[in-house]
Amino acid sequence: METKLWDDLREPPTRMERWGAILRKQPSAFLLAVQLLVIVLLPWLQDLDYGRVALTVLSLCALTVAVFTVRSTPALTWLSILIGLPAAVLEVWSVASPGNALIVALAHTALSMFYFYTAYGLVSYMFEDAWVTKDELFAVGAAFTVLLFAFAYLFLAIQEVWPGSFVGHSQAENRTFLELLFFSAANLTSVGLSDVGAVGAQARSVTILEQLGGVMYIAMVISRLVALTVMRNRG
Q: What share of the chain is helix, strand, coil (3-state, %, to 5)?
A: 75, 0, 25
pLDDT of 118 > 70? The answer is yes
> Model pTM?
0.85
Flag whether 109 is in a domain. yes
Tally of structural domains, the chain: 1
Domain membership of residue 2 (yes or no) is: no
Average pLDDT over residues 165-183: 90
Asked whether residue 6 is assigned to any structural domain, the reply reads no
C-beta separation of 83 from 114 below 8 A: yes
For 131, the 3-state DSSP assignment is: coil
In a domain, 12, yes or no: no
In this predicted structure, the answer to whether residue 111 has a pLDDT above a threshold of 80 is yes
Residue-wise pLDDT for 47-64, tens only, equals 775 666 677 777 777 777
Assigned domain for 162 exists: yes
Q: Which domain holds residue 151?
A: 17-234
- Look at residue 53 and tell me if it is in a domain: yes
Compare 191 and 145 and report the one with higher pLDDT.
145
